[in-house]
Structure 1
Amino acid sequence: MSVAEPRRIVLFRHAKADWPQVNDHERPLAERGRLEAAEAGRRLADTGIAFDLALCSTATRTRETWKLAVQEFPHRPKTVYEERIYEAAPGELIALLNETPDDVRNVLLIGHNPGIQALAEILSGSADGEPRDRMSERGFPAAAFAVLTTDGAWKNVEPGTAALVDYWAPSD
């Protein structure tokens, strides 16, 4: 694959989590979250993006979100459970994306706020448009995702190098 072909980064926030008496990393999905994760999976499948790689936080709620969402996909991408996504700042997430092999065209990153929303905003810079307006209006609620495109090698992904081309969030 040529590094000149556009690449897609989909930033997917985990679905609604429950608040049982466990540490934050071990929080499971709430019933609403299980429904939203499957719905988000259907919406992601509807984008037609063939994901080559899914990078998923090791937190219970992100793993459960991914397990339910990926069932809606026509094919399951390679999945890497990555500890560095949990509580990661945008710069740490960019560093992780920079490590992606160049033969990967489309990456799905399943993580947490505030890092996921901040990363979407930082990568897309000051771009305007309908997806940006929707994201600004809705924020980045549980199970939301943003689709960004970028050109060039993964090692060159940095603030302002992507375009926000789609955004979806479950209805309240």
Structure 2
Amino acid sequence: MKTLALFRHAKSDWSDARARDFDRPLNARGQRGALAMGRYIRDTGRRFDRVIASPAVRVAETVEYASKAWGRSFPVEWDRRIYLASSAVLVDLLRELTGDPETVLMIGHNPGLEDVIFDLVPDDGSSPLRDVVEAKFPTATFAVLELDIARWADIDSGCARLVSLMRPRDLDPALGPVLPGSLDP
């Protein structure tokens, strides 16, 4: 059995229309969301043998804020292939992992991360959390999958169970979606 945690970057800043997508930082709400999720991950007692992440600025800042709240830093393997990758690319990256770690944390972007869930978790009603992901997988969401495999190279569609899903708004309603007519703090 292997464990895969997926962590979508926190809310990014769109105020500079000239900025490249790769270079967008977190906005204030994103910083708060990353801190909240870092505390949540710490409180669950989760540990990861490997952490792989997109090197996009918003991901790097999500790691920075979450680590600060978590109270520990961890070595991150920055992999440009994760940036805006499809599920197929992300699954291939997992298949290529060396050393066969038991637990992996992947930090990146949508729609790739949520599509990994759709590809690995069967749509057979056995995981009610899958329906929540179908509705929305917002920024700073943290999901944990258990994979019925012995080696990462064995990943195949339908091999996982979604055992945990936490969205920022589940921790603090102020981190939820901005209602029409309101300002994004």
Taking structure 2 as the reference length, the TM-score comes to 0.84
Give the C-alpha shift of residue 75 in structure 1.
Answer: 4.4
Query: In 1, Cα distance between the equivalents of 2:155 and 2:74?
Result: 21
The one of 22, 41, 66 aligned to 1:25: 22
The one of 28, 35, 38 aligned to 2:35: 38
Would the aligned equivalents of 1:51 and 1:108 in 2 still touch at CA under 8 Å? yes
Would the aligned equivalents of 1:12 and 1:146 in 2 still touch at CA under 8 Å? yes
Higher alpha-carbon Rg: 2
Change (3 A) 1:122 1:82: same
Query: In 2, Cα distance between the equivalents of 1:111 and 1:73?
Result: 18
Could you tell me which residue of structure 2 aligns to residue 106 of structure 1? 103
Could you tell me which residue of structure 1 aligns to residue 179 of structure 2? none
Gaps of 5+ in 2: 170-175, 177-185
1:82-103 C-alpha deviation (Å, 9 max, x unpaired): 1000010000000101111244
How many residues matched? 166
Q: After TM superposition, what 4+ stretches of structure 1 lie above 2 angstroms from structure 2?
A: 71-78, 127-137
Could you tell me which residue of structure 2 aligns to residue 3 of structure 1? none
Query: In 2, Cα distance between the equivalents of 1:32 and 1:83?
Result: 25
Q: Does 1:80 align with 2:77?
A: yes
Taking structure 1 as the reference length, the TM-score comes to 0.90
Would the aligned equivalents of 1:58 and 1:83 in 2 still touch at CA under 8 Å? yes
Identity of aligned residues (%): 37
Gaps of 5+ in 1: 1-5
Query: After superposition, where does 1:100-139 map in structure 2 within 5 Å?
Result: 100-128=97-125, 129-137=127-135, 139=136
The one of 4, 8, 17 aligned to 1:13: 8
The one of 45, 48, 53 aligned to 2:50: 53
Give the C-alpha shift of residue 127 in structure 1.
Answer: 4.5
Root mean square deviation of aligned Cα:
1.5
Give the C-alpha shift of residue 170 in structure 1.
Answer: 1.2
